[in-house]
Structure 1
């Protein structure tokens, strides 16, 4: 069974059971994290800051008060291109862009902003499959 490793508020968290994964989805998506994006990994081992880990990552930033979020994927996809990839909302988003890295600050493009429910579904899917979520659309991202 794969292990979910997550950096949330710059602190490592882990989930192996369905209940732990559900709690981690709620923490990442529904709780405000104004200073940090959450970095998520699904792998056969626990990932930690010692440098051992997979070559892929799902970055998530949400603004629960506004009900929006955005995703960034770095890693393999079926097309073989490693990315990066940002979420894509085919419906134009009118509002402030979602943070990519609040410390810089860097922002996702407005076209990456998704309703928070879609972000929740994508994170849940990633925790189940360990692959880039297919329940959302993707667009080429920038190397920040």
Structure 2
């Protein structure tokens, strides 16, 4: 298992094996995402190692505010015909609004409905490390360009 990451700090990281990958997930969720999101890809090889690839067919976008105890996730899987692009979903809504960065290039933020408790995001990322699929322990809704 190899996780290739572009962190919110704009530093590229590669984690190998379950221990390093779990530590990387913890680092991502322990970091305040103010200007940039974190992008994660999992596979059996390091992605983006050459200009010609390899490139992942799926990606997990993460934005977190550990100070507020929340995060938001976006999952892209080009092999999933039912929900190719999805955002995490919080049906109950939080008692406060928080802007979590979706795209540092454009300044776009996640919709409030995508903001979930950071513990739920941790569970989802842990499941993702195991299954390499969109996690089922949280709710998802199709991505709606906003």
If the length of structure 2 is used for normalisation, what is the TM-score?
0.87
Paired residues of 1:37 and 1:60 also in contact (CA < 8 A)? yes
Question: SS of the counterpart of 1:127?
Answer: helix
Q: Structure 2: 5+ residue runs without aligned partners?
A: none
Corresponding residue of 1:55:
57
- Deviation by residue 1:68-103 (Cα, 9 ceiling, x = unmatched): 11000111466x235210000111223123221244
- CA separation in 1, counterparts of 2:31 and 2:101? 15
How many residue pairs align between the two structures?
Answer: 142
Aligned to 2:91: 90
Q: In the alignment, is residue 64 of structure 1 matched against residue 66 of structure 2?
A: yes
1:124 is displaced (CA, Å) by 1.3
Gap runs ≥5 in structure 1: none
- Stretches (4+) displaced over 6 A: none
45-54 or 67-76: which moved more?
45-54
Residues 99 and 107 in structure 1, CA contact (< 8 A), matched pair in contact too: yes
Asked if 1 retains the 8 angstrom alpha-carbon contact of 2:90 and 2:139, the reply is: yes
> Which is further off, 120-129 or 65-74?
120-129
Aligned to 1:100: 102
